[in-house]
Structure 1
Amino acid sequence: MDKPSYVTEKGLADLKEKLTHLTEVKRPEVIEQMQNVKADGEWMDNTEFQLFEDELALIDGRIRELQLMLDNAQLIEPGNEANIVEIGETVVVRTEEGEIERYTIVGVAEADPSAGFISNESPLAQALLNHKIGEDVVVKAPAGELRFRIVAIT
């Protein structure tokens, strides 16, 4: 079995929506465009047809990827253990410089670091997971070690 794909309820719904859009809208559109090019004749050496073939291959790859994520989806249920950082929770940390930062730990499929959603597989999330409020964690980064203190878990 493949490793679990951790998702929130919203993330699961988003994955299903993306899969539905690809299978019911995008893929049929590209196939129709390919058929139109074929109907015009000379499709074997047609660059436009080859571009549609490439696009279809990308769509099919993304469909397989989404199906695999959904097949291995494990719903995140935060808050099982009080005051311990778990997947699905938002963690407020203080940097060594005294800055306050907020991160929500989610599965890979929902990660968006620029919006504060970090993958459970990221070095920062790995350092934070299973630690308590008040504890210091160290993240090994290419630029050196970064230290954070956990100040809140929500």
Structure 2
Amino acid sequence: MDRPNYITPAGYSALRQEYEQLFATERPALVETIAWAAGNGDRSENGDYIYGRKRLREIDRRLGWLSKRMKAAKVVDPAAQEDRSRVWFGACVTIVDEEDRERTLTLVGDDEADAGAGRVGWNSPFARALRGAGVGDVRRVDLPAGEREYEVLAIRYPD
């Protein structure tokens, strides 16, 4: 990876929890089902065996990806941010666009981003444009629908 994988403690915990669930629970149960299905004879028409092998490959790929992401993770606690007057990782930012529509965004790690819930990834166009901004600053964001301007109304960090 060419850049650090910043992530909040909660985001890292979610990755770790998913890894543990797949590795300790789902994968062993699936291996047991595959072994049972393999013992039933002809594997070429055995749906349990074929689906089980396919699902096992999916789980192993996901475990590999999760392992790489956790190794590259740099856990940053937003509550420990020293400069709370500017937008940095973990900030909860209230912005307003040219049509006076307010939005509240939280800058989180790319692995924990969920635009529908207002959590934008640290490397997204919004986050890149807002980095280092203070209250009252106007920033331009290149979006698929075109360039828009946003003013920063408020910046909060968790306690």
**Partner residue, 1:62:** 62
What aligned pairs does 1:5-154 form with structure 2 within 5 A after superposition?
5-78=5-78, 79-154=81-156
> Counterparts of 2:3 and 2:69 in 1: how far apart (Å)?
9
1:5-25, Cα deviation, whole Å (9 max, x unpaired): 211111111111110000001
Contact 1:34 1:49 in 2 (8 A): yes
> Counterparts of 1:5 and 1:55 in 2: how far apart (Å)?
28
> Counterparts of 2:7 and 2:143 in 1: how far apart (Å)?
26
**Could you tell me which amino acid in structure 1 is paired with residue 133 of structure 2?**
H
> Counterparts of 1:19 and 1:114 in 2: how far apart (Å)?
24
Q: How many residues align?
A: 154
Structure-1-length-normalised TM-score: 0.94
Contact 2:7 2:76 in 1 (8 A): yes
Structure-2-length-normalised TM-score: 0.91
| Structure 1: runs of 5+ lacking an equivalent | none
**Could you tell me which amino acid in structure 1 is paired with residue 76 of structure 2?**
I
Q: Which piece of structure 1 moves more, 76-85 or 92-101?
A: 76-85
1:75-131, Cα deviation, whole Å (9 max, x unpaired): 123222131110111011011111111000001111011000000111111110111
Distance 1:26 1:72, change over 3 A: same
Q: What is the root-mean-square deviation in Å for CA atoms of aligned residues?
A: 1.3
Distance 1:3 1:53, change over 3 A: farther
